[in-house]
Chains A and B, each alone.
Chain A
Amino acid sequence: MDKTWNNKAWFLVLPVLVLVAFSAVIPLMTVVNYSVQDTFGNNQFFWAGTEWFEELLHSDRFWAAMGRNLIFSFIILAIEVPLGIFIALNMPRKGWGVPVCLVLMALPLLVPWNVVGTIWQVFGRTDIGLLGYTLNAIGIDYNYVRDPFDAWMTVIVMDVWHWTSLVVLLCYAGLVSIPDAFYQAAKIDGASRWSVFRYIQLPKMQRVLLIAVLLRFMDSFMIYTEPFVVTGGGPGNSTTFLSIDLVKMALGQFDLGPAAAMSLVYFLIVLLLSWVFYTVMTNYDAER
């Protein structure tokens, strides 16, 4: 087949290229530039080579934040995915309950991050917060400002409250796409409730679950605003996740070089882990 070559066509992709360049490529290159230099202000830069990277990879502070972040993401996924599936399975499929449930589920997703943080920050306060006050009133010693465990609990419950709906909505979309005939056939075949879930519902939800896990992993691994608003990374460093640490370094201490190096490493880790997740899950899919 003869293809028409017209180099003017490149102008058609130009707007996108410009947009992507300004929104992604140029900022990223700036970061790369910073990561190999040192500065003492005055816009004077000195070549530093891989120094910042070496320092970073030998820094306990970085690995501790990374460890906390991995544990956090793991807990988030372990709670939100099964809980999301469970809620989606129990949501009504028809009638007036459907729009009601969908709106209720969508509400937390519509709240801005820092507002979510503020809500829980106030909610958990021991002097005026409904949750904090009530817990202490019934004899549970709860204080997210002092106790690392309480701080973690608050951040996790907040994230579950905020994001489980996303998993629910994705799973629900997968579930409603299953034709009635599948359930009828399962009844005729004498399948148990568990078999219906295992062999009909789960396979149909698999694709959307992959997206849900990926999104929830990336988001929770990059979480910043909510824990920053609630705990500010404390008490101590107990809820200082990677992005909080990064901002402290870049803006708090103005260490542009190390912060840039950390950004790059952080970016590569997110990219790598997402790729691993995606490959594992799609391979599993192809194999079956």
Chain B
Amino acid sequence: MARIDLDHIRHSYLPNATREEHFALREVHHSFEDGGAYALLGPSGCGKTTLLNIISGLLKPSHGKLLFDGKDITRLSTQERNIAQVFQFPVIYDTMTVYDNLAFPLRNRGVPEAEVNHKVRETLDMIDLVDWAKRKARGLTADQKQKISLGRGLVRSDVNAILFDEPLTVIDPHMKWVLRSQLKQLHRRYGHTMIYVTHDQTEALTFAEHVVVMYDGQIVQIGTPAELFEQPRHIFVGYFIGSPGMNFLPAEIEGRAAKIGGQRIELPGAPALNGGKVELGIRPEYVRVGREGMPVSITRIDDVGRHKVLRADLEGQAIAAIVGEDAEIPAEPRIRFEPAGINIYADSWRVEMQGGPASHGGKGG
């Protein structure tokens, strides 16, 4: 187990990358603490798999250094790094038994057979496949195969980190929950550093203590699930996390108030602006519908089961609000914004508000 430092890592798949858009990974400077559970979240093509492959050593970064426990390992091969990786599609050696699959990484490293046996039995127990040890791996279900892939990492006691590359893609929905909670349990009991790549926000938010949100080759925010929900640092995080995503409305700022069209909204503090396009961000969860506030015209109501999603038009801007299942919607609906849920963005990045209440909100995602 180790602490992983990414020191100004940049990567391009092109041999002579000069322009910014040539880089799949623009600049990543970040540390993964020893024993942490991290999720790398982002849409397809944002560079998260590139970053993962750089950590595992399958790719060499074009610029920057990679350190495990302070030791520069940028030039080391995958084997020498002692990491484990679970891929999107289960990788198993299907002519071997489950037992031999788990023993494979140890035998390759010349571990004595007695110790192999001990470690494999222990790992079989951890991943709950003791009864399957003698079976050929090819007959197993997808989730069992994924557990074997994971087991091949867990079996090595010296493994620095376990990397997951969208590991639940091919797993049935009801097994996803089971596997995810087993994974969390393993993490709590054995404390491996785990980095989990996914484009599924639920997966990221339930698995990880820290979620690293990536967009367009950059890390846009690192935070706990609650932080990502309450204070997205970048409008992308607002869109990407939450269902539906955050509302963004073009606004003009006048001291401690924001103007959206003809409407004036009091802010908890004065935003520290220095130019750029200003937007007001508010999660649908913080939009209150009632008889007071700004008049809106409702365009659609979607009933999603536990609550309703209301789509409305405010001063020519589309806005979504979440209302309770039994909530009554007045004939002439008006909305107001919960002050704690308001964030102000300039050129897509969040700006702090001065003189307001403490910035850490209470409600979780």
Q: Are B93 and A200 in touch, CB under 8 angstroms?
A: yes
Question: How distant is A288 from chain B, measured CB to nearest CB, in Å?
Answer: 5
Q: How many A-B residue pairs have CB under 8 A?
A: 54
Q: How far is the CA of A285 from the CA of B321 in the complex (A)?
A: 58
Binds A, one of B11-19, B80-88, B119-127, B199-207: B80-88
> Please, which residues of chain A bring their CB within 8 A of the CB of B301?
none
B79-A187 in contact (CB<8A):
yes
CB atoms of B85 and A191 under 8 A apart: no
Interchain CB contact under 8 A, B95 and A288: yes
B95 CB contact (under 8 Å) in A181, A185, A187, A199: A199
Known: A184-B58, A199-B93, A203-B94. A189 touches B104 (CB 8 A): yes
- Please, which residue of chain B has its CB at the minimum distance from the CB of A190? B108
> A182-B91, A184-B85 in contact; A288/B78 too (CB < 8 A)?
no
Which residues in chain A, 179-220, are within 8 Å of chain B measured between CB atoms? 179, 181-182, 184-185, 187-192, 195, 199-200, 203
Query: Could you say which residues of chain B place their CB within 8 Å of the CB of A179?
Result: 89, 91
Inside 8 A of B83's CB, which chain A residues have their CB?
Answer: 188
Interface size class of B (residues with CB under 8 A): 20 to 34
Q: Determine whether the beta carbon of B89 is less than 8 Å from that of A188.
A: no
Of A182, A188, A195, the residue contacting B78 (CB under 8 A) is A188
Closest Cβ of chain A to B60, distance in Å, is 13
Are A190 and B105 in contact (CB-based, < 8 A)? yes
Which of A181, A184, A192, A288 contacts B108, CB < 8 Å? A192
Instruction: Report whether B58 and A185 are in contact in the complex, using a CB–CB cutoff of 8 Å.
Output: no
Chain A residues whose CB sits within 8 angstroms of the CB of B79 once the complex forms: 187-188, 190
Let me know if B221 is at the binding interface, CB within 8 A: no
Contact B85 A185 (CB under 8 A): yes
Given known pairs A189-B104, A199-B95, the reply for A181 and B109 (CB within 8 Å) is no
Q: Does residue B247 face the partner (Cβ distance < 8 Å to A)?
A: no
* Chain A hits for B138, CB < 8 A: 288
Compute how far the CA of A203 lies from the CA of B149 in the bound complex, rounded to whole angstroms: 18
Contacts of A181 in B (CB 8 A): 87-89, 91
B95 touches A189 (CB 8 A): no
Contact B152 A288, beta carbon cutoff 8 Å: no
> Which residue of chain A has its CB nearest to the CB of B93?
A199
Flag whether B56 is at the interface (Cβ < 8 A).
yes
B53-72 vs A, Cβ < 8 Å mask (1 yes, 0 no): 00010100000000000000
The residues of A with any CB-CB pair to B shorter than 8 Å are: 179, 181-182, 184-185, 187-192, 195, 199-200, 203, 288
